[in-house]
Structure 1
Amino acid sequence: MKKILTFMSVVLAAVLALPANVWAAGSGEAAAQVPVWLCIPFAGLLLCIAVMPLVKGEWWEAHQPLVVGFWIAAMVLPFIAVYGAGKTVETVLECTVNDYLTFIILLFGLFCVSGNITMEGDFAGSPRINVGLLALGTLLSSCIGTTGASMLMVRPVIKMNSWRKRKSHIMVFFIFMVSNMGGCLTPIGDPPLLMGFMRGVPFFWSLHLLPMLLFNMAILLFAFYHLDKWAYRRDIAEGRKPDISKPGTEFRIDGLHNIVFLLMIVGAVILSGVLPGMPAFQDGAGNVKGIHIFGEVTLSFPALIEIAVILLAAWLSFRTTKQEIRRRNHFTWGAIKEVAVLFIGIFITMQPALMLLKSVGPELGLTQPSQLFWATGALSSFLDNTPTYLVFLTTAGTLGITSGIATSLGTVPAKLLSAISCGAVFMGANTYIGNAPNFMVKSISDENGVNMPSFFGYMLWSLAFLVPVFIIDTFVFFL
């Protein structure tokens, strides 16, 4: 009960801290169409994700689908009363078909393919090795996406540190850097940047964020190295040591052919951003062609192609890889099942919050880079960072500024675009639900014996290490 009261106090404080013009907008016509109380089921689901593993862990693991179903019903039924059945069905189908479906298929494909790649060798999880792995994974994220890099690197990092007792901090920093920050340099890296590319932001423009990424990497890797060195020495002092049976340095990768299937998935993601702009995939009115489902909900042909390519890559990966490799990786379906169940609830119940954000976003008076950095980042910590990015990109495009990056949403000054991009990508690391691979890394780590922090425990880590870095970013880059 104490934890619940603490959480509700945090929520209340956050609500009271909202700018006054949010509430002013809330009294207008736009926000009147989106009652704030419709966001309660979303907050309730987040509360369950945060608290239930602490107070009723076994019950929670066995009954997650029921709890998620309850909160979905708690959102859908009042939504019907406010908007009618037709609008409700359209809203639920829109987020399920065009957001959740491609999201979970991408995670599934990367989960399958990465599970068929294993790294073996006598590298022990020392502070220097771990710093190198985090740096490699962070830079790799912009090449194959934060989800791809996370799924590829998570098991090797866990394996190399399996002999250690104190290792949860390694996976926390893994989420900070590999699962989030590393994706800021290309549209492949993180979905918000892909949406920006689809709306006219040049493909290689994000390379302008390299100084910010290197700056943050230097700070976080410095902090991580000293923290890991302290934990490493304590493990050694207790008599723990890595199992290195052969002299010398041996290293091999089994299932390396799966890199081809990983590249297939990356290619499918790129196609999903390029094909909608081609005339062959547009009708006479410029709309993307697809399969009409209900109302204005359409499953586009580019999305179907992406799904087909990803599923084909996953199937080929399993067909061409020996089961022994998955056994050595301790491969199970538990992590992807948990993510699939929890995120269908998150995607559906957060729709009123996203609708409210879209209605009041242009009226918030956010015009400075520092304001957009923190507004985009704070909301991306709990909401899907892709629509949050689009809301504030649209807001920046309506300011009437004539110099900057020309997009289909208007001209956006480079500094504002940098602030929005960094807020969406960097601050997705603030919570487990801030970005797709965060919860997946947590689940895989839990399955492999890493005692990961709770929902609130993880937020304490982000408050201690990430928020100070973001404050420094504000003064160095966004003022």
Structure 2
Amino acid sequence: MKNRLFLGLGTVISVLGLSQVSVLAADSESGTETLGATLPLTWCIPFVCMLLCIAVMPLIAGEWWEKHKQWAVAGWSLLFLIPFAIFHGFGTMGEQLLEVMIGDYLTFIVLLFALFCVAGNISLEGDLVGTPKLNVLLLLIGTLLSSWIGTTGASMLMIRPIIKANKWRRRKVQIIVFFIFLVSNIGGCLTPVGDPPLLMGFMNGVDFFWSLRLAKVMVVNLIILLTVFFFLDTRAYKKDIADGRQKPVFDADTKKPVKLKGAHNIIFLIMIVGAVILSGVLPMKFPAFAKGINFCEGVTLSWAAIIEIVIMLAAAFLSFKTTSKKVRKANNFTWDAIQEVAILFIGIFITMIPALLILKARGSELGLTHPAQFFWTTGLLSSFLDNTPTYLVFFTTAASSGFTEGISTAMGVVPQVMLMAISCGAVFMGANTYIGNAPNFMVRSIAEENGIKMPSFVGYLVWSVSILVPTFFIDTLLFFL
């Protein structure tokens, strides 16, 4: 059913847009450069409805949603694409669709797929007992890993071990929620490998190791969130014990040592990380790699991106070929999580086209002049939109504001505190919602596959507003005032 649906969606898209590439110039009278400046906000309705479906449908029609969510994706996508083509020309619609699918979604989903495959072939074996102290340690390790193998890589690598360790417990939602806060988001702030917005900054002239300056902000967040987590998890742990839950006890003679199975897959993780770095370095050092396959004017799949995709897919293929099925079985590996992300995010990427066009055209009109304003505006928008273009919009806004002191970039000079605010907003506040960062959804799906009933979209917002927002206010007071 899903294959037929996406074949049908692809056919409609082809008829409406891709076949019209040859008449782009004729149909785009005003040009896409000024399109965002004239678009009314009503074009964002399909995107808002898409988000409402993700938030509400699992609550009111959960079983139907699980089986038929692809229809919502197709419906809202077409309810944006068809009117957009009618009002602004098939060529303009085709160009925008190609740009988001080739320029954004393709590398996004290939990266997630490759990391999902490779991490699924690594299993942490041994007798681990989920206690508050062990959980804090695992969260800390995962957070520190995020900056070096990416938030997605660290999330996929660490989520299954922490679920296994806490299998005996009943109350464990808080473990997964804080995992998303720290490992899937905040931990990615120290290098351009950690989160795509920082890679975008690196590609525009920010020094690779500049983001290490964000360590002091990350440490403050770590201390606050791990302290709150330890309190909540200790309370839940004591209730589990009081309810009669038996903590596993292992005999010293029979206790299995902790070890990695499929450890050779770390090589493939390094391949994927190397491919991401290479895609940023090659166009800067060798401009020829910025060229590539031209789909239409303004939409090019660069040779650097093609090399990145080939390396990542090769890593995923070699990982499966060289790893025993027993390792995946031990991980309860299924394709459900990556399938859900691929389905939902294709709709999110398509329907948020007008929101990004408007933001790019009018972002400079917001009148942002203070680091705190950049921090909160970048962050709140990154909670619902793709944080990479959001980062780039405000990075460009700051760089073009005429500052003479700060970090010299390809776009202009950006004061260091401004760049810190934009970077932290884009990376940290992706944790505010399930759709703020792709690993959030994948972690939730894997947790639910393993029997952990996760909060709804709105329920998760309650967690983030209660815990993350006060933490970000502290960040503002300490670093961005």
- Fold shared, TM-score > 0.5 on shorter chain: yes
Aligned to 2:359: 357
Aligned to 2:274: 267
Aligned to 1:190: 195
- 1:32 deviates by 5.1
Structure 2 residue aligned with 1:281, among 280, 288, 291?
288
Structure 2 unaligned regions, length at least 5: 1-33
Residue 250 (1) aligns with residue 257 (2): yes
CA distance in 2, matches of 1:113, 1:245: 30
Residue 54 (1) aligns with residue 56 (2): no
CA deviations 1:305-362 (Å, max 9, x no partner) are 1110011001111011100111111000111111100000000100100011111111
Structure 2 residue aligned with 1:449, among 424, 431, 451?
451
Counting only pairs closer than 5 Å after superposition, residues 405-416 of structure 1 correspond to structure 2 as 405-416=407-418
CA deviations 1:182-219 (Å, max 9, x no partner) are 00010000000000000000000001111100011000
Aligned to 1:166: 171
- 1:30 deviates by 6.8
Aligned to 1:338: 340
Q: Does the 8 A contact of 2:364 with 2:397 survive in 1?
A: yes
Aligned to 1:121: 126
> Residue 108 of structure 1 aligns to which amino acid in structure 2?
F
Residue 70 (1) aligns with residue 72 (2): no
- 1:298 deviates by 1.3
CA distance in 1, matches of 2:267, 2:186: 25
Aligned to 1:154: 159
- 1:172 deviates by 0.2
CA distance in 2, matches of 1:400, 1:363: 15
The 1:252–1:244 alpha-carbon spacing in structure 2 relative to 1, beyond 3 Å, is farther
CA deviations 1:446-466 (Å, max 9, x no partner) are 111111100000000000100
Residue 181 (1) aligns with residue 195 (2): no
Structure 1 residue aligned with 2:49, among 44, 52, 70?
44
> Residue 461 of structure 2 aligns to which amino acid in structure 1?
M
- 1:241 deviates by 2.3
TM-score (norm 2): 0.91
CA distance in 2, matches of 1:189, 1:280: 25
RMSD: 1.2
CA distance in 2, matches of 1:391, 1:370: 16
> Residue 227 of structure 2 aligns to which amino acid in structure 1?
F
Structure 1 unaligned regions, length at least 5: 1-28, 283-287
Aligned to 1:305: 307
- Local SS of the residue matching 2:301: strand
CA distance in 1, matches of 2:273, 2:230: 31
CA distance in 2, matches of 1:32, 1:451: 43
- Local SS of the residue matching 1:165: coil
Q: Does the 8 A contact of 1:258 with 1:317 survive in 2?
A: yes
- 1:292 deviates by 1.3
Q: Does the 8 A contact of 1:146 with 1:190 survive in 2?
A: yes
Counting only pairs closer than 5 Å after superposition, residues 134-149 of structure 1 correspond to structure 2 as 134-149=139-154
Q: Does the 8 A contact of 2:36 with 2:360 survive in 1?
A: no
- Local SS of the residue matching 1:444: helix
Aligned to 2:25: none
- 1:428 deviates by 0.4
- Local SS of the residue matching 1:291: strand
The 1:159–1:215 alpha-carbon spacing in structure 2 relative to 1, beyond 3 Å, is same
CA distance in 2, matches of 1:226, 1:72: 43
- Local SS of the residue matching 2:294: strand
TM-score (norm 1): 0.92
Instruction: Report how many residues are paired.
Output: 446
Aligned to 1:24: none
> Residue 259 of structure 2 aligns to which amino acid in structure 1?
R
Residue 235 (1) aligns with residue 235 (2): no
- Local SS of the residue matching 2:209: helix
Q: Tell me which stretches of 4 or more aligned residues in structure 1 moved more than 4 Å.
A: 29-32
Q: Does the 8 A contact of 2:434 with 2:460 survive in 1?
A: yes
Q: Does the 8 A contact of 1:38 with 1:78 survive in 2?
A: no
Counting only pairs closer than 5 Å after superposition, residues 391-430 of structure 1 correspond to structure 2 as 391-430=393-432
> Residue 78 of structure 1 aligns to which amino acid in structure 2?
P
Deviates more, 1:77-86 or 1:88-97: 77-86
